[in-house]
Amino acid sequence: MMNIAVDASKVPAPTLVRSPGYWQTVGRRFLRDRVAVGAALVVLFLLLLAIFGPWLAPADPYASSMLKRLKPIGFEGHPLGTDELGRDMLSRLMVGARLSLFMGITPVVLAFVIGSLIGITAGYAGGPLNTVMMRTIDVFYAFPSVLLAIALSGALGAGITNSLISLTIVFIPPIARVAESVTTQIRSRDFVDAARASGANAFTIVRVHVLGNVLGPIFVYATSLIAVAMILASGLSFLGLGVKPPEPEWGLMLNTLRTAIYVQPWIAALPGVMIFITSIAFNLLADGLRSAMEIKQ
């Protein structure tokens, strides 16, 4: 038999192929969803409009002119017409994006923090503590969100701060229920049992093993609530329980323009169109995130 000597220096070294991580896979799946990417771009545009709108507005959103009341779309100097007091609609819509998004995002963020803390604590502790905490949450969850928001705002009084408090209380129960449900499922997993058997305390287990697995689903659910929060905030302003005049907020603009619907229906519908577009964009974004994160399915 012939022996063939092989020079080890000429043998190519094996290449290590790294499998993509979880969040890389989520990002790739999300970018392949054209609808979700389009919704994300719309949301990004609205956020930029909320930040830079006051500087980009072509006119003073508070300056009124009785000679220019309810001018139609395309009127000279007012591309989207004017409202019932002669104020430029384009400027008010641009400046109103900041307050409208603030009223929609802030309560959900606060409810996300508080509700996640309540739900994760109840879900991991279990037993009597879970029963007491979740039955207390169910008391608020039993009321329809619209009626609860109106009742709380009516009791606290009109204003931005009271509206934020009311909406935060409305969204804490559903987020807490989702957090408790997901945490209860994670608590029974093998890696949590192994960490508990190794002597790790409850705080370490929750911080290292539980949070990373439950915050994603809770965040996706909370994102879908932003659209609901915007609609509720606009509804409170429409009823006179939210933002007060003359602040440019889309729900309040709908309220003040309701008497002009027979004179300039397109002008009166513009704030509603902005609310609709924003709500659809956040809903589609939440659906895209949910689909991207369900890798195993």
The CATH number linked to 174 is 1.10.3720.10
Q: State residue 6's pLDDT score.
A: 44
Examine residue 14 and state whether it is found in any structural domain, yes or no: no
Q: Which two tokens stand for residue 25?
A: 């896979």
Contact between 224 and 106 (Cβ < 8 Å): no
**Which stretches of the chain score pLDDT less than 70?**
1-22, 295-297
Contact between 278 and 101 (Cβ < 8 Å): yes
Q: State residue 140's pLDDT score.
A: 83
- The boundaries of the domain holding residue 227 are 23-58+79-293
Q: State residue 17's pLDDT score.
A: 43
Q: What are phi and psi of 44, to 5 degrees?
A: -60, -40
Q: State residue 16's pLDDT score.
A: 44
Q: How many domains does the chain have?
A: 1
* Beta-ladder partners of 78: 75
Examine residue 9 and state whether it is found in any structural domain, yes or no: no
Examine residue 129 and state whether it is found in any structural domain, yes or no: yes
| Per-residue pLDDT reduced to its tens digit, 24-66 | 887 888 889 899 999 999 999 999 999 998 899 999 999 888 8
Examine residue 1 and state whether it is found in any structural domain, yes or no: no
Q: State residue 224's pLDDT score.
A: 87
Q: State residue 51's pLDDT score.
A: 93
